[in-house]
Amino acid sequence: MLEVTEQAVVKLKAYLADNNIDSAVRVALMQGG
């Protein structure tokens, strides 16, 4: 399961709206981060 903070949701929605992105978001988990 992936947990996302409320602040992250707000910022992501703002980013998508500012850049006129209406497609799905792909999340990649990478080692070392």
The dihedral built from the CA positions of residue 8, 9, 12 and 18, taken in this order, carries a sign that is negative
C-beta separation of 22 from 16 below 8 A:
yes
| Higher pLDDT pick, 16 / 32 | 16
Mean pLDDT of 1-24: 94
Which pLDDT band holds residue 2 (cuts at 50, 70, 90)?
A: confident
pLDDT score recorded for residue 8: 94
User: 12: which 2 tokens?
Assistant: 């992501």
Mean pLDDT of 6-33: 92
Above 70 in pLDDT, residue 33? Answer: no
Whole-model pTM: value is 0.66
